[in-house]
Chains A and B, each alone.
Chain A
Amino acid sequence: MAALEELEREYERAKRDKKFQARLTELLTTYAGRPTPLFFARRLTEKLGGAKIYLKREDLLHTGAHKINNCLGQGLLVERMGKHRVIAETGAGQHGVATATVCALLGFECVVYMGTEDMRRQELNVFRMRLLGAEVRGVESGSRTLKDAINEAMRDWVTNVRTTHYLLGSVLGAHPYPTMVRDFHRVIGREARAQILKAEGKLPAAIIACVGGGSNSIGIFYDFLKDKKVRLIGVEAGGRSEKLGDHAARFRGGSPGVLQGTYSYVLQDSGGQIALTHSVSAGLDYPSIGPEHAALRDAGRAEYVAASDAEALAATTLLARTEGIIPALESAHAVAEVVKRAPRMKKSEIVIVNVSGRGDKDIGIMRENLKLD
């Protein structure tokens, strides 16, 4: 608790500190590569024959996903707090790589916890983290995925709390994490809103983003919240079936509960034990969802759907072949939703899809599942 209060205080101060904000902006620009382009997907639009599709290219950021936005922000906070050791959890490895990168940049010791199942399917990212000087610790408990990596990171944190910062990678965990991580990703929506107004002179009819913990989606949604006519659509992992244990669609099969310090929708059994989950994409494979998404859903401001493993894989191939962009399997869930939705929309309408990460890390899984050779 004391560490959370310290973090909250420091974050509130940093938020108002012009120097801190200027340094963050500079790093986001000169190091991470912001702003990212908003790209008109002409061939995909023609192929689907409905709404005009734009892609927000977070996949073009340094380290290959939106995760770097939050890591740079929290990294600068670590500097302010005078801590030297950073720990993180990772599912797909994108947050782990971004954390390892920022630790190398700012000179921190870095330990990343990762489920051994995820280490197997995201081998490339494991090597990248090690190359960047981070120690990757495999986690053998539970489903050996993201949830278990967070458990282990929390255990490390409570043990070494005096010297260590826990660089949580999604809008999860105890306060102030969900709010702080959202704020560091708001830049996605802020840019997208200005970019679409410049390109089209009007707001989009819908924004689509995938939701694991929910950081990229809340990041792109947030600056559109006040634009009531813009539909905000989050896409969860539908996995291989609707049976509990076969998916990570918290709004379809979950109920209110507490996991890892967050009260939100949780996939659980009748006794309150947390259920196992499955998704082809490691980054969406998590039994709970950021609490702000739960609030947006209950308020009716955002809607949440699911895309199956098969739909995400098909969308990956489609985007690769129509636009020459290989999305991360997480982001492919958002693409799968636009494939279903765009044909039903008017040609005058615009939809923005957040391509939160690039697919290089998933090449192994795609190869196993797509059987192109």
Chain B
Amino acid sequence: MPLAFYKKPALVAYVTCGDPDLPTTREIILAAIEAGADVIELGVPFSDPVADGPVIQRASERALKHGTSLAQVLTLAAEVREHAQSTGLVIFSYLNPILRMGMAKFCKVARAAGVDGALITDLPVEEAGEYLRAMRAYDLAPVFLAAPTSPEERLKRIAEASRGFVYAVSRTGVTGARQQLADDARKLVKRLRRVTRLPIALGFGISTAEQFAEVGSFADAVVVGSAIVETVERNRGREAEAVGEFVRKLSPVTAESSVAAR
């Protein structure tokens, strides 16, 4: 089960697929894995990314300019799977592209591509009945977001519906790097521990080695997204190399121990 975290803290790396183009995204993902990423979130670009900050918004716009689609992202996932058997692959998407493809078809194609799970940003667990049934039928792990504002009851539902890991959002708001991590993060992880035994990955706003280490002290995994996407944006022509360097610097320990773990 590749969604298991082999080391603590594990690194979950988010990439907006198709930015700057799909062949480069493939190289970026392989470089991130080489540098120690345990799970890759393959971001499907969407025209209206309401949960994302400016960095991922810009990346999505660039990816959509040349028509990056969910179907292409799933093909990319299959290619990555050929090269990386022990890395977790999670499709990270808004609901509409998946609805358009059809829930069951999405799950079927994702399974065939070697994908392990999916996270649909704008599908609340309360409305996820059909999705959960389809995911279960294809043995895929649904991952849900838990927010600091989620009341106890909701955290419970999220924990019950999630497989693989629970994604804890470090603070209220959209994706994007922040100087400081809110106290919210630690409290939320503590609250989640009370309702689940699943590993907890913490994300939103993490961009430095210091933050990585801090989060690693209380969460099982750290999600880094916008900072990787920004590295791609700032290093035209050497995207994969730059992401590899960034991931290595983010967690020097991760890079070493991942070799040992394999």
Contact = CB atoms under 8 A, between A and B. Distances in A.
B48 A274 contact: yes
Interface string A142-173: 10000110010011001111100000000000
B100 A271 contact: yes
Interface residues of A, number: 28
B253 interface: no
Given A141-B57, A155-B50, A260-B48, A268 B100 contact: yes
Given A1-B154, A257-B100, A270-B100, A159 B174 contact: yes
Interface string B22-56: 00000000000000000000000011111101000
A158 B147 CA distance: 10
A273 interface: yes
B64 interface: yes
Interface of A: 1-3, 141-142, 147-148, 151, 154-155, 158-162, 256-261, 266, 268, 270-274
Interface string B49-80: 11101000100010010010111000000000
Nearest to A174: B124
14 contacts: A1-B154, A2-B147, A142-B47, A160-B172, A161-B149, A258-B96, A259-B96, A268-B96, A268-B100, A271-B69, A272-B97, A273-B64, A273-B96, A273-B97
Nearest to A271: B69
A274 B126 CA distance: 24
B128 interface: no
A314 to B, nearest CB: 33
B57 to A, nearest CB: 6
Given A266-B96, A271-B69, A271-B71, 12 more contacts: A142-B48, A155-B174, A161-B149, A257-B96, A257-B100, A258-B96, A258-B99, A260-B50, A270-B100, A271-B70, A272-B98, A273-B47
B204 to A, nearest CB: 11
Contacts of B149: 2-3, 161-162
A3 B101 CA distance: 31
Nearest to A154: B50
A266 B122 CA distance: 16
